[in-house]
Structure 1
């Protein structure tokens, strides 16, 4: 396959739904479409497809029926069903005998859809890697054992707290120090913050910085799975537990035995499920659906949410006892707009990754581009920044990126920022010298606040000596303000 993007086949008999899904996925995936099961099979026969995203209700062959055939003929394809109906026994059965990886409810949310398909693409990659390693193990034996150990060591280095991208004065430094300090303790951790801020990266740092790093790290997006399916997904199910359960299902908690499980979007779960999860945390055991007795598990639980769980507890939507079980330590991950000093590093990192995948080297960002990136608020956080860099790389002429390649919303934010600065200067009282001194005092004060009053770092950013900075602090009365 010539494309370096993961491939997804969208199967839906409604053209509008096809187009909506294509628009959402186009930047991150190579998208193929089909309007029926027959068209889908034809695409699968001629293209290398990694993910099949199929609507349940279609004329003739249903989505689950199609995915059963896909499982038989193309077992490596990761299968996802999408439907507006939650009570379909056909869907529940398909989770088992159809080998369906994930179930999405209509109306789907773009962020949730992208997160699910990125996870599916990663799962496909890991499956392929495992198959390759298994084959090599039969051939090479001890040699491969050394390779696997080396791969684990690489993961520990890649996801170590010290390896997370941030500037020397970033507020992320304190978070990474905390993660490194608590990684070896089997203490529940709750990660809070907006979507796309890097909560999963911190969870991986917790895992790979601990003694559990030799075992599995498993992720489940609790908000993407209905309650009827989430229990069997996490706790497992016995053969015959419900219609279509033709084989035992291990469950993610048992897959994470000895390792770590990340329960993402934990705030989206129902009260009924919260009771069952609380028992797992209290007893250290899970009861698979249809099983007569529980099974012991030893998995460290890390939870993540973009909700204010304390407010949810006060509103009665989240169990207080479960909250305290999950939040022995709470780590609030700041949004990207609150750490602008990290933006150049993260942007360059993603540009390097894009260049590596394309076999080309891009020149560094110029100051004009960086100023625009820093001025923008990034409501989508790191995920949105990555997509912006991908857009710029796609539009670039050769190896040089230009400010003209930025999206209109980022350019508008830069213009608004400049106008705000000019309005601030024009609104100050006094002659030009007085206004410039007032502006200088604001800049010095803001820089000191960002650097938590570290004079060495602030002086370096402002191009001053420590003595020069101290003189300005005294001159503008800022030492007393501290």
Structure 2
């Protein structure tokens, strides 16, 4: 297995430190420190890729410590975690300490892991760029060809046919056809759909199939930042524009000149910032914070939202003129529950990607596992499936097929009709007599228990508090006695690798 990236977590609250360490332990080599001095000693003796520091520390603030880290270990990706969201603290952190992300408490485990994985990718990219810079001095023509090859590879990776994974008969087919038709034309596109449906992937496909494909593609999550920081990130700022602005900062619109800007979660921006963004889109120019000069920009804007912006406009929460500036073409991405035939194809592709990332090989997914996945509605969409596949791979036996017993319990208990809420009222069938409704729920519990125990009836009966004879009777009553799992040694139709 490939070596895990090393992350240093600093927090003076021991329980918080233990909680974060436990969450990250499977994906990272976690080093912990409860004091600044202890953290410094670790940095002096270890090769650390990411430093995650609490903002409120007894000896000095997290920003002050990360400023010191920036001076002594500039390659490390620096991140702040805090229960306080003071805008000046955030801006100070970005400018003085060069932090990659400001994470607020309470944090969600999956989001924290995803953020840190992105930080690892940034670290690897920085290292690669350093090597390219060295090569450029030695062999300019060779580096130029390498960069050109890399752009071509990116273009292939985000191709509509290979990059957006789907089955032969899929609702995504119409989406891709529309995106492919729109891509060459320099019009704004608004992508709508639930979280995790792949809006950023669709935006990248649009960019790499456009005439701007060899220019920058930059991303900003508009819902993650307060107005002050969002304005600085998008438009830039001049030194001295506000407390902590110790140097000029070039905004994303200027950095993306000639390319594409992807504004994710555009529905979350405040009415005040909507006015500033509208002016930029109307005039085709930006003015950095604290500057009296404007800069012309040439970018294509692709925006995304999980809200219904037309409803937001009617409710007065989103400006109609800004909506029509962004919604040159509106494309809605369907939820995964509306793409059941895509699930096996997606699962295999995500498993293949996870095996490459984690350095662990298995022979695929059993048909039983795929059937259970198709019966579940995936409220978190593709992102939720990606996490589930990674968990199965980590817990599974190397070289074997990943079976349904490795799936999370709520997926095994899924109702094919799509009622996966934890509330008992949603789990229960709503029609029929009391006896029939309880019977259906009992059948689902028995089947889920059997799957988890790989159809070992003795273990399932013991967990359910039944005798083997009692369990056999219920299997006959519910028509489960002839349901058999695939043989463990057999390579499934869902194998990948």
TM-score by length of 2: 0.79
How far the C-alpha of 1:347 sits from its partner, in A, is: 1.1
CA distance change for structure 1 residues 325 and 162 in 2, over 3 Å: closer, same or farther? same
The answer to whether the 8 A contact 1:24-1:110 is kept is yes
Distance in 2 (CA, whole Å) between partners of 1:92 and 1:358 is 35
2:304 is paired with a residue of what secondary structure? strand
Kindly indicate whether the alpha-carbon contact (under 8 Å) linking 1:105 and 1:224 is maintained by their aligned counterparts in 2.
no
CA contact under 8 A between 1:3 and 1:30: conserved in structure 2? Answer: no
Change (3 A) 1:88 1:274: closer
Contact 1:222/1:230 (8 A) holds in 2? yes
* Aligned 8 A contact 2:313 2:319 in 1: yes
Partner of 1:391: 391
1:415/1:238 CA distance change after superposition, 3 Å: closer
Tell me which moved more, 240-249 or 166-175: 240-249
CA distance 1:277–1:417, change in 2 (3 Å): closer
Cα offset for 1:367?
Answer: 1.4
Secondary structure, aligned partner of 1:257: coil
C-alpha contact 2:376 2:416 (8 A) present in aligned 1: no
1:92 offset after TM fit, Å?
2.2
**Count of residues in correspondence between the two structures:** 423
1:245 CA displacement: 1.4
User: How far did residue 320 of structure 1 move?
Assistant: 1.5
Question: Aligned-pair distance for 1:167?
Answer: 0.3
Q: Which residue of 1 aligns with 2:411?
A: 410
- Structure 2 residue matching 1:119: 3-state secondary structure: helix
Contact 1:237 1:251 in 2 (8 A): yes
Please give the secondary structure, in 2, of the residue aligned with 1:302: strand
Q: How far did residue 111 of structure 1 move?
A: 5.5
CA distance in 2, matches of 1:388, 1:380: 11
Q: How does 1:392-471 map to 2 (within 5 A)?
A: 392-400=392-400, 401-413=402-414
Structure 2 unaligned segments of length 5 or more: list them: 420-425, 434-497
Q: 1:100 to 1:389 in 2, by over 3 A?
A: same
Given that 1:352 and 1:362 are in contact with CA atoms closer than 8 Å, whether structure 2 keeps it comes out as: no
Helix, strand or coil for the counterpart of 1:8?
A: strand
SS in 1 for 2:414: helix
Q: Any idea what the Cα deviations from partners look like across 1:336-385, whole Å, max 9, x if unmatched? A: 11101111111111222233345554213221111011111111111111
Query: 1:71 Cα deviation (Å)?
Result: 0.5
| Aligned match of 2:157 | 158
Residue matched to 2:204? 204
- The structure with the largest helix share of the pair is 1
- Mapping 1:19-168, distance limit 5 Å: 19-22=18-21, 24-26=23-25, 28-87=27-86, 89-110=88-109, 112-163=111-162, 164-168=164-168
Is the 8 Å Cα contact of residues 33 and 40 (structure 1) preserved in structure 2? yes
1:23 CA displacement:
5.1
2:194 equivalent in structure 1: 194
TM-score normalised per structure 1: 0.82
TM-aligned CA distance change 1:24 to 1:301, over 3 Å: farther
CA distance in 1, matches of 2:120, 2:358: 19
Shift of 1:43: 2.7
| Distance in 2 separating the partners of 1:94 and 1:258 | 29
What is the RMSD of the two structures over their aligned residues, measured on CA atoms?
Answer: 2.6
Q: Provide structure 1 residue ranges, at least 5 long, that are not aligned to the other structure.
A: 428-482
Deviations 1:132-189 (A, max 9, x none): 2111111222122111111111111110112121001011111111111111111111
Q: In structure 1, what is the equivalent of residue 369 of structure 2?
A: 369
Deviation at residue 237 of structure 1 after TM alignment: 0.6
**Residue 138 of structure 2 aligns to a residue in which SS?**
helix
CA distance in 2, matches of 1:47, 1:363: 36
Alignment partner, residue 347 of structure 2: 347
